[in-house]
């Protein structure tokens, strides 16, 4: 599943330096230990991180005694002077010519870390070809990205994002790596309550047969994508009916978490007219409005004026919000989740 007409990086790029994205990292200790066992990854191995997303993995290697580490610099290496430039800009800048220049300047890596970038690449094959210039022949690359399989199967439309060009599953990642002429040593899926982390460990050499790569047929993958597309109108209508019934019965509705997930839930399901506000305690966000809907963003004190609050947070943040807002529940308030995979999902809620 891919975007066929992605917006230019200059359009997607954030307008605010304070915008951050939180990826799950509970698996990184286990992953680092696995990477240590790769051929050629000894204490003197050259381990390079492509972006700031790799800092926490590099720090784990440093704590384990690996000192020959480096992370590409946004300005000096990637030639990006804009403080708001992010992954959308990095994927556009990293050409084969620049990669060759960087390899000559810093040396090639025994292990290149590429966490949460491949799914942003407008031309994934060209992007990977450039990355190969940064890695020694026989060296390794680590790719990490969200596994899209669960949210496609659950028809959870909040996980579509304009910054993500390709939505990988284990099978499509294996097929892509093979098509790029690389050897896929291993895929690993780390499970999380909502979105799993998909890992591909790749060797910079000629491709070989990938065991188990034909477990799911292309036809079944296409069929799953078609179901995802076909169910949208049905679920949009169901959400609008539910929110309308809540509003008509006098219930006041808010969404907790002013991020891109909430933005999509509100806009794709066309729910603006039913929602009082979006709640977020980040003071930067309270100075602006939600994209598209133009809904106001307020602090958590706004819960006193709300009857139903939809959570758009990761699992860890959701637990903190629930623990801090027991008075809201005690007076009859209802917390639900915008995510289809959550046990609190609004997808199965009733208007009662």
For the chain, the structural domain boundaries read 9-228, 238-348
Q: Which pLDDT score, from 0 to 100, does residue 207 have?
A: 60
Domains 9-228 and 238-348 equal at CATH topology level: yes
pLDDT of residue 202: 95
- pLDDT, tens only, 91-108: 999 999 999 999 999 999
The predicted pLDDT at position 328 comes to: 94
What CATH topology corresponds to 9-228?
Rossmann fold (3.40.50)
Q: What stretches in the chain show pLDDT beneath 50?
A: 209-213
Which CATH number describes the domain made up of 238-348?
Answer: 3.40.50.720
What b-and-e string marks burial along 22-48, b requiring 16 or more CB atoms within 10 Å of the CB? eebeebbeebbeebbebeebeeebbbb
Query: Is 203 within 8 Å of 138 (Cβ atoms)?
Result: yes
Please report the pLDDT score of residue 216 as a whole number. 65
Task: Tell me the per-residue pLDDT of 218-243, one tens digit each, with 9 for 90 and over.
Answer: 788 888 889 999 999 999 999 999 99
Q: What is the structure's pLDDT at 222?
A: 86
Q: What is the mean pLDDT of the chain?
A: 93
pLDDT tens figures, 251-307: 999 999 999 999 999 999 999 999 999 999 999 999 899 999 999 999 999 999 999
pLDDT of residue 215: 58
DSSP for 35-97, please give it: HHTSTT-STT--EEESSGGGHHHHHHHHHTT---EEE--TTTTT----TT--HHHHHHH--HH
């Amino acid at each position: 599943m891919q975007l066929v007409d992605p917006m230019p990086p200059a359009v997607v790029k954030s307008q605010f330096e304070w915008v951050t994205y939180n990826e799950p990292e509970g698996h990184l200790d286990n992953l680092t230990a696995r990477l240590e066992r790769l051929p050629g990854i000894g204490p003197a191995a050259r381990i390079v991180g492509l972006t700031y997303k790799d800092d926490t993995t590099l720090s784990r290697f440093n704590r384990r005694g690996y000192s020959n580490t480096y992370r590409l610099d946004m300005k000096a290496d990637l030639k990006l002077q804009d403080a708001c430039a992010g992954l959308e800009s990095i994927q556009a800048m990293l050409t084969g010519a620049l990669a060759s220049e960087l390899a000559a300047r810093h040396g090639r890596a025994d292990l290149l870390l590429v966490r949460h970038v491949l799914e942003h690449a407008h031309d994934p094959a060209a992007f990977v070809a450039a990355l190969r210039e940064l890695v020694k022949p026989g060296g390794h690359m680590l790719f990490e990205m969200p596994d899209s399989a669960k949210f496609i199967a659950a028809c959870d439309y909040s996980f579509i994002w304009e910054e993500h060009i390709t939505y990988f599953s284990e099978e499509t990642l294996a097929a892509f790596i093979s098509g790029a002429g690389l050897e896929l040593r291993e895929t690993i899926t780390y499970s999380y309550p909502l979105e799993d982390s998909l890992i591909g460990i790749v060797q910079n050499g000629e491709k070989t047969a990938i065991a188990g790569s034909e477990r799911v047929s292309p036809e079944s993958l296409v069929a799953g994508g078609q179901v995802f597309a076909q169910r949208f109108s049905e679920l949009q209508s169901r959400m609008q009916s539910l929110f309308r019934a809540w509003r008509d019965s006098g219930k006041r509705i808010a969404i907790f978490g002013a991020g891109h997930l909430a933005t999509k839930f509100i806009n794709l399901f066309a729910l603006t007219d039913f929602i009082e506000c979006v709640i977020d305690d980040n003071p930067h966000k309270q100075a602006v409005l939600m994209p598209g809907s133009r809904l106001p963003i307020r602090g958590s004190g706004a819960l006193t004026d709300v009857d139903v609050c939809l959570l758009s947070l990761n699992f860890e943040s959701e637990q903190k919000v629930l623990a801090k807002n027991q008075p809201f529940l005690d007076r009859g308030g209802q917390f639900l989740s915008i995510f289809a995979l959550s046990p609190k999902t609004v997808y199965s809620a009733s208007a009662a």
